[in-house]
Chain A
Amino acid sequence: MDRAAIIGVGTTKIEKSKIGETFADMAWEAVNNALNNAGMTIDDIDNVVTTSSDFWDGRTISCMAVGDASGAAHKNVSCVEGDGTYGAFYGMTRCLSGSYKTTLVTGHSKGSQSVSSLITNSAFDPIYERALGMDMVTACAMQARSYMHRTKTTPEQMAMVSVKNHGNALKNPLAHLPMKITVKDVLESEMIADPLHKLDCSPVSDGCAAVIIAHESAATKFKQKPVWIKGVSFCADSFFFGDRDISRAKSLTKAAKKAYAMAGIHDPKKEIDVAELYDAFTYQELMWLEEMGLADDSMAGKLLEKGDFNIDGRLPINASGGLLSGHPVIAAGLYSMAAVVRQIRGDVGGFQVKKAKTGLVQGLNGLGGQSHCVFILDKDK
């Protein structure tokens, strides 16, 4: 099979409210950062994939709001709704199709501009469920309860995820919420929806991220040493929340297994050096680790306590600070991808981990992670 690589990444700073910038202004900044990073001009880009959500943006065909600023004029431009990793998946397949050599993929969102509870309530089925008034926070609170019940994970262990990730963000100048906090601070923060405290939840942030993916025949023609996509898989589970065992993430387990197989990984616990996971809520980091086989069942909390997932630990998780420290919905997975690419290149700055040959990026979408996308990135082809 032909191969594809990531040859440029660019992001805006993640902020609570980008008052000076429209969607297009953010895209302009992220795209130019990615082009500079890759040593490319917009003429070197064959086609563009943008990722956005019409509901979050408050307009239909929300991708068209950023096309011009992404240099998509007179090019084939297509749009994905979902996490940025889904856009990257599509962008990669375009490079592998033989039709294009280079794809620019962007993801943007400004959570500050609408009401997240109303937006995520709309993810529920309108005929059967929406009128009950649940949203992403209350749905994930149910999932947290269910996961804690099955695995005996404690509120203190969950709080430690928040302490670790907000602490990691102190070394990431792009993060929205770098904080030095304690387990006590998390447990004493306001109860939002049992069992989730305010500091168990990610903020809703503004930001745009861009990555440039190239077919192998073009991957070495520009400035950066390519970071190779060794494995990737995308899986979705049943839509109805009550159809799933929500203490588990079957679609993530499947996606991870397929991505490992494609990358030739037999023991992910040993072979993955660094990972950025979708920690929209504290429990999710632990749950996703187990569901991807990066920790044994019900053991992620204990390994966290031992320091395994710290920047200097056995398997650094969310060294960037993760989404708990800044969560631009939709763009999120591309921020994670950009962080892992830079880790592998060794140019990520303050939160560089010691060994970063092979990295994992996870993106998700839907209530409690209905669908998941897993990328395995590697220094070597």
Chain B
Amino acid sequence: MSDQFQGIEPMVYKSKINVPYSWWAGDTASKFYITLRDEKKITGTKCAACNKVFLPPRKVCPSCFTENKEWVNISNEGTVITFTVARCQFAAIPSDKKVPVIWGMIKLDGADTAMLHYLDEIKPENVTIGMRVKAVFSEERKGTIRDISYFKPV
């Protein structure tokens, strides 16, 4: 630092980006969420070219660049592919969740891809890769990913 700044205390300028967004979910996610909310059913889309079933569902197959036109029902049960346990209250963790928070990557029966969600009704030290889990739906469903409350051991 050159002499002209001798004795100058650096200042902190507090700021915040605070912009509300309203994302339209699109046809595909809307259909998924309406089925989840109204029927407590998990659904995915299927690629006719590679036969893969995608969960969360999307309009375009990420491998084939073709439109996924078929919808299939997916089981509420599946297998834990991997998981983690947050031990610190990271800023991104929703305010109603207190650590330890367990997230799993869960491959539901009938899907070829895994979804992310919470694991609960189990102690963190008892979670294992390969364990079987089952969806617990929320009492009050609003058409969000948290219409599934969490997954619990079968």
Interface residues of A (CB under 8 A from B): 19-20, 58, 115, 117-118, 120-121, 125-129, 131-135, 137-138, 141-143, 145-146, 149, 190-195, 238-243, 246-247
Contact = CB atoms under 8 A, between A and B. Distances in A.
B61 to A, nearest CB: 10
Nearest to A128: B56
A134 B82 contact: no
Given A20-B1, A131-B146, A133-B97, A138 B84 contact: yes
A128 B114 contact: no
A142 B82 contact: yes
Contact of B114 (A20, A193, A242): A242
A145 B145 contact: no
Interface string B88-115: 1011111001000101010100000111
Nearest to B95: A133
B62 A117 contact: no
Contacts of B93: 117, 133
A195 B125 CA distance: 11
Q: Which 8 A-B pairs have the closest CB atoms?
A: A121-B92, A242-B114, A141-B84, A146-B82, A117-B91, A117-B90, A128-B56, A133-B93
A142 B103 contact: yes
Contacts of B5: 20
Contacts of A145: 82-84, 129
A191 B86 CA distance: 9
A44 B14 CA distance: 38
Nearest to A59: B17
Interface residues of B, number: 46
B116 A193 contact: no
Contacts of A19: 10, 12
B74 interface: no
A247 B29 CA distance: 28
Contacts of A134: 92, 103, 116
B87 A138 contact: no
Interface in B52-73: 54-56, 58, 62-63
A366 to B, nearest CB: 14
Given A145-B83, A146-B81, A242-B115, A127 B25 contact: yes
Contact of A126 (B23, B82, B87, B146): B23
B28 to A, nearest CB: 9
A145 B92 CA distance: 21
A132 B120 CA distance: 13
A239 to B, nearest CB: 7
A72 to B, nearest CB: 24
Contacts, number: 116
Nearest to A141: B84
B24 to A, nearest CB: 9
Nearest to A143: B82
Given A138-B103, A192-B88, 6 more contacts: A19-B10, A117-B93, A118-B91, A129-B116, A143-B82, A240-B113
Q: Most chain-A Cβ atoms within 10 A of its Cβ — which of B17, B21, B29, B82?
A: B82
A93 B66 CA distance: 30
A367 to B, nearest CB: 10
B87 A191 contact: yes
Contacts of B94: 131-133
Given A131-B145, A194-B87, A243 B129 contact: no
Q: Most chain-B Cβ atoms within 10 A of its Cβ — which of A120, A134, A149?
A: A134
B124 interface: yes
B118 A132 contact: yes
Contacts of B1: 20
Contacts of A115: 91
B65 to A, nearest CB: 12
Contacts of A20: 1, 5, 10
A195 B124 CA distance: 12
Given A132-B118, A135-B90, A138-B103, A243 B85 contact: no
A247 to B, nearest CB: 8
A120 B17 CA distance: 15
B20 interface: no
B82 A135 contact: no
Contacts of B115: 128, 242
Contacts of A191: 87
Given A118-B91, A133-B90, A133-B92, A128 B84 contact: no
B117 interface: yes
A132 B117 contact: yes
A240 B62 contact: yes
B117 to A, nearest CB: 7
10 contacts: A20-B5, A58-B17, A127-B25, A131-B94, A133-B93, A138-B90, A194-B84, A194-B87, A242-B81, A242-B114
